[in-house]
Structure formats: C-alpha cells, structure tokens
Chain A
Amino acid sequence: MRSAGVAIAWEFRHRHRWGLIGLAGYLLVLATIKLVVVALGQPVKLDSPESFAFVVMVPMTATFVYLLAVFTFGLAGDLAARQSMYPTRMFTLPVTTAALAGWPMLYGTAVMATMWAAIRLFGIWPADFVVPVLWPALLAVSLLAWTQALTWMPYPLPGLRVVVTVLWLTVIDAIVLVALTLKTPEPLMLAFLAPQVPLAYLVSRFAVARARRGEVPDWRGTFARLGRRAGFATHQRKHFPSPARAQTWFEWRRHGLTLPGWVAILLPFELALLGIAGDSTALVFAILIGVLLTPPLMAGFVAATVRNANRSGSDSLGLSPFIATRPLTSAALIAAKLRMTIWSTIATWLLVLVAIPLALELSDTWPVVVERMSRFGEAVGAPRAAVFLLLVLSGFIASTWKQLVQSLWVGLTGREWILKASVFLALSILCAVGPVLVWIAENGRVQAALWDALPLLLAVLVSFKMTAAGWVAMRHYHARLLSDRTLVTGAAGWCVVVLGLYGLLAWFLSTPLFPRYVLALVAMLAVPLARVSATPLALAWNRHR
C-alpha cells in the first residue's frame, strides 16, 4: 500500500466488508424496484407512513447508526471508558495526527454523502414529498464528524463521553428540527451545517493528539474523596460473610449501576417536557407513560452488557479465567447475577418514583394528574383503581427485570453463532412486526380470525414454553447443576407467581370478553421460566468447554 490513507481505507473496507456488502445489496434492491416501477410507468404511491418507515426510514436509520459505529471505531471501543475510543495501535503508525483524525473523517463523510445520494435517488418517496437535495447529507456528515470528535476525546470521568456526546448531538438535532418546523430554506440550513464539519475536525484532531500523548484527565480521585467524606465508603472494609455475597458485590460493581445510570441521564430530558405540557392532560400522561416505559426499554439495551460473559478479556465471548476459576457452582454465579439485576431494577425504579413527583411539583402539573386519577377512582371504585395502578407499576417493574434477565442465556453460552443468530432473529422480528401490525390493523377479517384463534395461539405459545422448560429441567437434573430441592422449589415458586397473577387478572378483568383460561395462559406466558432457568446451563456450557 502506497499511503497511510489507502491503508486506513483498506482496514475499514476489509473489516466491515459484510456490513458494506449488505448495505450495497439493500441499495441494489431499492434501485431495482424503483427502476422497474419507473420503467413500467407506475406512479410511486406510498401513502402509509408505516410502509414508508419500513422501506426507507428504518433501514436508513439503522444504516446511519451502523456507519457511526464503523467510522468512530465504536464497534471495538469501550464507550463508557475515560480513554479515547481511537484505537491505540494506530498511534504508533508513522503518520501525523492530522492524518489519523482526517482520513476516517474523510471516508465517513464520503460514505455518508454517497449513502444519502443513493437513498435520495433510489428511495421510494411519497409522491407529494419534496425530497431535499443537500442538507440531509450535510446533517448526517456533521453528526458523524461530531460523534467522531467526541468519542475520540479522553474524558476525566467514566461515562462522561456518553453524556457529552448525547447532549451535543441532541442540541444539533433540536436546532435542525426547529428549523424544519419554521420551514427554513435549504441555503440557511446549509449555512448552519456547513461549518460543523471543519469545527468537528479541529476538535477531533485535538482529541486524537491528546490521546496519542496519553493525556487522560482524571477526576475520579476528587469524587472518591467526596464520597469518603460523605461516608459512602465506610462500610466497604468489612469482610464478605459468604462467597455468594462477594460475587453479588462483584456483579453489582460491574453492571449494577448501568441501568440506573442510563435512566438518570434520560429522565431529566423526558421530565423537562412536563414544563411545556401545561394543562394538556393527554400530553402530561403521554410524557409520564414515556417515562415509565424508559426503564424497561433501556433494560433491553443494558441486558447486552450484563449478559456479556467477559467484557474486558481477550476472548470477548468466553468466560474470563478469573471468573471461571471462582470456587462457586455455575448456579451460584448465575444467582449473583440475578440478585444484581433485582437490585439494579429496584434502584432504577426508586429513581423514577422519586423523580416523577418532583417533576410534577416543579412543573405545576400535579393538579392535572390528581384530577384525572380522582375521576378514574370515581369511575371504577377506589380499591380497584388503587390495585390497577399498583398492578401497572408492578408490571413495569417486573418487565424491567424481565428485560434484564431473559436474554442472559444468549451471551453466557459464549458461542458467537448463538449470539449472531439471536441478533439476526431479533432484527428480523423487529423488521417484520411493523408491516404485520399494519396489515392486521387494516384488515378487519384478519382481526376477527386472530381474535377467534387467540386461545389457540396462546396455548401453542404456552406449550412451547413448557416444553422448553421441561427440557431445561431435565438437563439440570442430569447435569446436577441444581439440587432436586432447588428445582422443585423453583417450579413451585413459578406456579405461585403465575397463580397470583392469574388471580389479579381474573379479579380485575372480570368480563366475558376474556375467558378465565385465556387469563391463565396470559399469566403463564408473562412470568419468565424457560430462558431464565436455562442461564446456569448456558454458563456451565461456556465455563467447561
């Protein structure tokens, strides 16, 4: 290779060839459809927002996020670390810092711009939509350039990178959204966006130069001293009373604060919207529902880190020898993880339950909520209303925990093919679910057929779940990973929770619309069983390869 620029380009191309081939395939399909449609003289009609989202917006957004990860070197870096995410192996290359910062930025810019041009040309746009020419490309390039600059910067505190990057990108996005709302002409948009790229380049050059010199500011000592003064660390010198407690502490320190941390970052932005909600009951409740949905949604993302068997080891999927050689059973290692997820869920919801009343008070929206709750209480009766609210809250809390633990088994197997297959399956379901829902919503006969078949569908799902649980129990029995007593106690505990949930559902939904057996099936599906009980097996499979 004749130059550093060519070598860096080769690395991007070679390392991400499958992703880039997939992207080219998508564009090819899009182009073929468009050319065939245009060649046949058919007008492009895409009135349904869901179809438009499925065909253009979702793939475009996914591609944008993927390209952000590629050109920031984010797929190999630690987002939460203080150190720069720029690969340290490249700092010893005989090239200038300007080149190290400039080439990835230039390639990212070129790919983003090409991507927009292709989507604009081949995308199936609604007939009445005037597709902008330049500014979306410039927006994508600006967001990429700033993400590169901010992720390559060393930070004084762990996690600060995420906060700074999210905030800064939100500011740029918000300005563009306001400009769109005000129907700002394209030249003005360009005037705002064009300077972003050179500015971001200067910041990224500074960031890479600092990282290259090994300059990583450190404020942790200050916070540790403050913590000690506040007495947070006084109890930490005590010995652990048991190995199980020590392992729970280990898991808590590794992952326990991740979910509360992310929710704590998002909550202020979401709850600040209450300030502009005024007396609009619909808006206030929409914001509150959004806030209540945040922990379970974030738990889905955080689960990817919790389930990672070996975050820092050389083999990113295999269990680290340090953990694998703990004198604990695989079941005890899993129990520690589960205890950590429970504490993490509790901490997250304490945060939410403290923040919501505070935000309602500060935004003067308490009366709106109180008035609507009083009316609800009058309509269904105070006890039923109270139980309903408790049930909804418990549902959100249980769902948060479920999101954290239900995919644990995937990562703990330590098998790349299982991880990739599960990601592929999840993405396929995500892509399919939108169009299927639209199809169902637009088709009355399908809805009726589905309603009739609902008990059968639920019964099939329950039989799948119970078969899987039975298989897992047999494996546990043969592998002796859990004692017979633990197996029986676990099964009995699951039955008690299912019965309790069924009782609550039967009491609350006492309507002929929902037969009792349907409620029983729903309760059986809602309470985790097979996947959670499979986690010790998955870990043992990884630990004793």
Chain B
Amino acid sequence: MVSESVISVTEVTRRFGSRTALAAVSVSLPRGAVYGLVGANGAGKTTLIKHILGLLRAESGTVRVFGLDPVADPVGVLSRIGYLSEENDLPGWMRVDELIRYSRAFYPAWDDGYAEELRLAFALDPSAKIKDLSKGQKARAGLLVALAHRPELLVLDEPSSGLDPIVRRDILGAVIRTIADEGRTVLFSSHLLEEVEQVADHVTMISEGRIVLSAPLAAIKESHRVGDHVPSLDEIFVARVGRAAASDAEA
C-alpha cells in the first residue's frame, strides 16, 4: 500500500541512556513542499532525521518513508533520497570526479548533464581531492551528489552551519531547484531561522525531543500576529521555545 505522506513518523520515542532525545514524536509530511525543521542544538532534529534515513531504529512507534520502513528496506528508501549532512563526511581520499562516478552507480535516475551543470556552477575541480577542498567546497560537492539523481525527497541536515553566505545561497538555490520539479519534497533542518523562513512552506519546531509547533508557515505567522505586526520566525521561535535563536545560532 502506498502512503499519501512522503514521511510518516508516528509516536517515535528514542532514549540515549537516561536522556530522552525524542518523546512520542509524530510528524506527517505530504508530498511536494519544503519543510523546515527548526530547534535549538540538541533539540532532536538530527535524531529525527536519522530515524527517517534508517540510521536509527525506532525504539517505539513507527517510521515510514514513501510507505516503506527505512530499516527493513534501506535500498527502497535511500535510492529515492538525496541527503546532505552537517557532518559532511565525504571520503577525503576521493577526487571529485571519482565521487561523482562512484555516487552515480547507486542511482538509476542519475542525470549526467545535471551533475556536470552543478559541478560547473559550484566551480569544483574534478581532479581535486575531497580532503583538499575548503569546507564550503565540500558542502557543494555533497550537494552535487545529493541533487544529481533528482531525488524525490531531499533531506538537508543543518547544511549551512558554519558556511559562508555564498555557499548558503547555493544551498537555498538547490532547495528552490528541487521544488521546481513537481512533486518533490524537501526536509530542511536548521537553526538559521531566516533561511528557513525564506524557503519553507511548512515549519516544525522541536524542543527537548517534543514537537512544540507544526503548521504551514503562513498559518503560524497569522496565528502569532499582534495587531498589524506579523512576527518573524525568530520571534515566534523565541516565544514558543523560550530561547534566543540568534544567540543559539552564534553558539
């Protein structure tokens, strides 16, 4: 049975020792929109994304991506996902052209023309070793292999953390490019709320392992309006989570 939701997380709880990283979290993301997942450091964003990718097994509750269990069927799920992590652990010994050649083998929908277009746009030297690239170039290389197979679901876990504005612009551009293809979905985790505000249709706020707010961005803004003043996502976040997002981002 095919699920209507691209991602369906139901009552997932996860503990690391005595700490509860996710407490009965339920999220359902329908197809074809950009979802911003926001929260302070350690709120549980990456833990939730790892459950979606199948890197963590749900201790209780269920996770379905494209209607499939990502732990039981990693090939069925991961072949349709493009993923870029904050960690960006691309193998340092590979050259850029080797990374492209290697990644290409895993995705039948890989688009050589698009990959080359992205490589040129990101100014990546094909003979350069990954470990010799700057942090921004590494993020671009990761973005290239996440996008070039035109994934149905693009998952970006804190992709712009610690990067310069030009690379952050490339990442936002990638999000826009992806949603330009009809029916594709983006899950974008960040604590840079301005960025999320620029591209997200729907925002989920997570704090201490619990979903505190999940709704379309426009509806969130409308519900927090005070007279004529429409608050920014930053202000809403501070109001709901009780912490200054800006200082957290700086930290």
Contacts and interface: CB of A to CB of B under 8 A. Distances in A.
B53 interface: yes
Contacts of A240: 101-102, 104-105
B91 interface: yes
B236 to A, nearest CB: 31
B89 A312 contact: yes
Interface stretch (A52-60, A248-256, A354-362): A248-256
From A236, A240, A242, A326, residue with most partner B Cβ within 10 Å: A326
Nearest to A481: B72
B162 interface: no
A114 interface: no
Contacts of B85: 321
Contacts of A314: 87, 89
B177 to A, nearest CB: 21
Given A240-B104, A312-B92, A544-B55, A327 B74 contact: yes
A321 B78 contact: no
* Interface bracket on A: 20 to 34
A325 interface: yes
Given A240-B101, A321-B89, A322-B91, A544 B71 contact: yes
Contacts of A250: 91, 102
Interface residues of B, number: 30
A89 interface: no
B44 interface: no
B74 A329 contact: yes
A412 to B, nearest CB: 15
B55 A324 contact: yes
Contacts of A480: 72
Given A240-B105, A480-B72, A326 B78 contact: yes
Nearest to B54: A544
A242 B74 contact: no
Q: Is the interface of B mostly helix, strand, loop or mixed?
A: loop
A307 interface: no
A313 interface: yes
B45 to A, nearest CB: 15
B102 to A, nearest CB: 5
A380 interface: no
Nearest to B70: A544
Interface in B86-125: 87, 89-94, 97-98, 101-102, 104-107
B226 interface: no
Contact of A245 (B53, B91, B105): B105
B87 A326 contact: no
A313 B89 contact: yes
A402 interface: no
Interface in A286-324: 312-314, 320-322, 324
A328 B87 CA distance: 21
A321 B87 contact: yes
Contacts of B79: 327
A326 B89 CA distance: 13
A239 interface: yes
Interface string B53-68: 1111100000000000
Contact of A545 (B56, B81, B105): B56
12 contacts: A237-B101, A240-B102, A241-B105, A253-B94, A312-B92, A313-B87, A313-B89, A322-B89, A326-B106, A328-B75, A328-B106, A545-B56
Given A322-B89, A324-B55, A544-B71, 18 more contacts: A241-B105, A242-B105, A246-B102, A246-B104, A246-B105, A250-B102, A253-B93, A312-B89, A321-B87, A324-B53, A325-B55, A326-B78, A327-B75, A327-B106, A328-B74, A328-B75, A543-B55, A544-B54
